[in-house]
Structures are given as C-alpha cells and as structure tokens.
Amino acid sequence: MRSLMSKIVKIVLRALAVILIGFVSAVIGLIAGAIIGGNLAAIYELISGYEFVFNGRVGYEATGQIGFILGALIGLVGSGAYLFGRRTQK
C-alpha cells in the first residue's frame, strides 16, 4: 500500500513541476517576445508600412503574447517529455 501511495505522490509532484516549469517558461517567453519581437515588429513596420497586429494588440504587445504562448507550449511539452518520458535502463 505504501508503494502505491509513493507512486501517486511522485506523479502528482511531477505534474506540479510540469505546470510550474510551463509557467516560468511562459513568462520568459513573454519577456523575450516583447523585447526581440518588438524590435522585429518595428523593423517590419518600417519596411512594409503596416503594423504587426495579433489578437487586437500592436507591436511589442502582440509579439509578447506570441512569446508567452510559444514559451508555455515549449515549457509544457519539454518538461512533460522529460519528467514523464519512459526511462530506459542500460
């Protein structure tokens, strides 16, 4: 019985770790998207004459949202694969 409970606790802790890593990587993606993407959006506007718009936002706010989404996806998928992937013993 104790073994089953310890396995359940490990799974719950891994799931919480995946959520935490996903949130942290989303915040990092938001900051990187706003900084890097904002500069790219400004260059795009200079070259094309059109503003970069996503989800009703313009410029660095739009690229920050895209960075947030991509950061969350990368963090969740990466940490989920790492923490819940099959372990092969050599």
Residue type, 78: G
Band (pLDDT 50/70/90 cuts) for residue 89 is low
- Is the pLDDT confidence value at 84 over 90? no
| Contact residues for 55 (Cβ-Cβ < 8 A; gap 6+) | 62, 65
Give pTM, 2 decimals.
0.84
Distance CA 11, CA 78 (A): 16
Tell me what the mean pLDDT of segment 82-86 comes to.
84
pLDDT single digits (tens) 28-66: 999 999 999 989 988 988 999 899 899 899 988 999 999
pLDDT single digits (tens) 12-23: 999 999 999 999
Band (pLDDT 50/70/90 cuts) for residue 77 is very high
